[in-house]
Amino acid sequence: MQEINIGELIKTVLANKGITVTEFAKRINKSRENIYSIFSRKSIDTDLLAKISEVLEYDFFRHYSTTYQEMEEKIQHLEDQNDLLKEYAALLKQNKSKE
């Protein structure tokens, strides 16, 4: 299982959601200073992570699941195969139109 920097992940999701640190701090009832502390953490209390997951509408726990990570890898592999098949089909179609 790959190492997870949960603080960095929270910071990234927060930025992607377009929520300010001040607003996020209010929503989880913490100070801005505490939020910056969270961003630097490599681990976090599960109750706090559950609250953050709820507020950001993002399941951070999935990153700790081996099954989820394996499924993500399989999905990526299938997407890559699908792209190759699309390219192959386009080439076949192009070749057939030349006949």
Domain ranges, ordered by start, for the chain: 1-64, 65-99
pLDDT digits (tens, 9 = 90+) for 10-36: 999 999 999 999 999 999 999 999 999
Please indicate whether residue 19 or residue 91 has the higher confidence score (pLDDT): 19
Residue type, 12: T
Q: Which residues contact 10 (CB under 8 A, 6 or more apart)?
A: 38, 39, 44, 52, 56, 60
Reported confidence tier of residue 1, pLDDT bands at 50, 70, 90: low
Residue 48: burial class (beta carbons within 10 Å; 0-12, 13-18, 19+) = middle
Q: What is the C-alpha R_g of the chain? A: 21
pLDDT of residue 2: 66
pLDDT digits (tens, 9 = 90+) for 41-72: 999 999 999 999 999 999 998 888 777 767 77
CATH for the 1-64 domain, from 1.20.120.1760, 3.40.190.290, 2.40.30.20, 1.10.260.40: 1.10.260.40
Please report which helix (H) or strand (E) contains residue 41, including its range: none
